[in-house]
Amino acid sequence: MPRRVDTGDDWDEEPDGDWVPDDEELDFSPDVGDDDPTMPCPHCGASIHDESEQCPSCGKYISVEDAPPSRKPWWIVLGAILCLYAVYRWTFG
């Protein structure tokens, strides 16, 4: 079914010369810092939106269950090795 379009517009007429922009229109500047918040992808590290379901760079889905396992800090591993060494030396030393 065809749509009806109002052809009674006045776009071709000359604009009214009485219009003057107010201070708000003259001082307008977009907020640069209010863009969508981003975070790094847990798989590839690319910057993605917080609300994303899938990373556009690597194509993997973003969820806590699918995140790669995090590495243990080196000092925890080193401390465990030193404790085992101390127990070994105390037992057999």
Are residues 31 and 39 in contact, defined by beta-carbon separation less than 8 angstroms? no
Q: What is the mean pLDDT of the chain?
A: 78
Largest CA distance in the chain: 101
Domain membership flag for residue 17 = no
- CB-facing half-sphere around the CA of 20: CA atoms within 13 A: 3
Domain membership flag for residue 8 = no
pTM of the predicted protein model:
0.35
- Asked if pLDDT for residue 30 goes beyond 80, the answer is no
CB atoms within 10 A of CB 48: 21
Band (62; pLDDT cuts 50, 70, 90): confident
- Asked if pLDDT for residue 86 goes beyond 90, the answer is yes
Q: Which domain holds residue 87?
A: 35-92
Domain membership flag for residue 7 = no
Band (1; pLDDT cuts 50, 70, 90): low
Say what the pLDDT of residue 9 is. Answer: 60
Say what the pLDDT of residue 78 is. Answer: 92
Q: How many domains does the chain have?
A: 1
